[in-house]
Structure 1
């Protein structure tokens, strides 16, 4: 059996400062650090002692801090992969959220949602974000591990899950998996049928 635990990093400074995240390199707040410790303890209690555990994380500081907290309890070093970063919002990053809201061009209900440009210079399209996250997941899942922890961001998490369930690219235009900050999503593949399950999505019970 293979288990993958997908972590949406907990509260970071851009959340409370109400600025745009994306590739803006914010860090965990004190509340976020407590949540990261709770995530680590929960995973330590859930994953059998002696199991080989790999921790892979976005290289952005808020995700890296979360991964370091988790990896520390398992005695490993996190593997950083910039392809697990949040969607880039280009020149909006680090600016007030209302600055982005005034300029944001929402995607159409139908048509080319993956290639839609949101009106902000330097921002990624949905499709660009999806492709790099799927590429990262292809590499992660090629490695023979029974337990892997992937630390990423709220928007990018959707594409971690779609890569896991092998959802075709053409189907990604409207899909969205909601997972709150600090949540744990558990994915599992059984040894017999090799079915890939979404066991839980965005669980937050460990946060109290």
Structure 2
């Protein structure tokens, strides 16, 4: 690469906003295929180790902000990242997991027995709402303003990264909303492993139309079952 090519690439990268969406570490409920939703569960010992491993990987991403769901499993994962840098974890309730209503606390088998066919429909239809819960479309609409506000508030974002720590369902819904995918295409974004992450980037200066691109899905993790 010539010096001119290197300078041109450096200039382009200086305008790029990078957004990293990290899923929390393992909980006992993850291991038992139990539907957590917004029930506030804790990380397992494995989950805490996963958080530290993710922190070691992401510490080099030149992050300027670390924002987390206020549920413990996400906040504790984010806290592991904070230990590797100088950023403070900012809690954000709008990044909580999907409310699953009557399904929360049930295993997958329990849901399938009590609501035959409903879980499959939920995975395939972004507008489907679990009894007393939220649809994926509602979750995306809830989380999208968090990123829009950051675009306005963080004038220092271009050339750097912001990390949001949240939950599998929330991350999938927010990613689909940022990419402005048609609702019928939302199921194309499958499950995320614990402490895997998604990376999006915006290469334009516009705040109103950032034109997000999907760079990475389910990074640094093996493919996970579609839990949430």
* TM bucket, shorter chain: 0.7 to 0.9
The answer to which of 54-63 and 93-102 deviates more is 93-102
Q: How does 1:80-119 map to 2 (within 5 A)?
A: 80-104=91-115, 105=118, 106-107=120-121, 113-118=125-130
Counterpart Cα distance in 1 of 2:147 and 2:86 = 23
Counterpart Cα distance in 2 of 1:96 and 1:80 = 28
TM-score by length of 2: 0.75
Relative to 1, partners in 2 of residues 1:13 and 1:198: Cα closer, same or farther, differing over 3 Å? Answer: same
Structure 1: which 5+ residue stretches go unaligned? Answer: none
Quote the residue 1:156 is aligned against: 170
Q: Which has the larger radius of gyration?
A: 2
Q: State yes or no: 1:143 paired with 2:153.
A: yes
The answer to which of 134-143 and 31-40 deviates more is 134-143
Partner of 1:38: helix, strand, or coil?
A: helix
Shift of 1:108: 8.4
Relative to 1, partners in 2 of residues 1:127 and 1:42: Cα closer, same or farther, differing over 3 Å? Answer: same
Q: State yes or no: 1:200 paired with 2:216.
A: yes
Counterpart Cα distance in 1 of 2:67 and 2:177 = 15
Q: State yes or no: 1:6 paired with 2:32.
A: no
Query: What is the alpha-carbon root mean square deviation over aligned residues?
Result: 2.6
Count of aligned residue pairs for this structure pair: 195
Q: Indicate if the aligned counterparts of 2:102 and 2:133 stay in contact, CA closer than 8 A.
A: yes
* Structure 2 counterpart of 1:36, from 29, 51, 66: 51
* Structure 2 counterpart of 1:187, from 188, 200, 212: 200
Q: Indicate if the aligned counterparts of 1:11 and 1:29 stay in contact, CA closer than 8 A.
A: yes
* Structure 1 counterpart of 2:138, from 92, 114, 128: 128
Counterpart Cα distance in 2 of 1:173 and 1:138 = 23
Shift of 1:61: 0.7
TM-score by length of 1: 0.81
Relative to 1, partners in 2 of residues 1:75 and 1:109: Cα closer, same or farther, differing over 3 Å? Answer: closer
Counterpart Cα distance in 1 of 2:141 and 2:96 = 12
Deviations 1:106-154 (A, max 9, x none): 53899xx454333x3x211233222102222322333322320011111
Structure 2: which 5+ residue stretches go unaligned? Answer: 1-15, 223-228
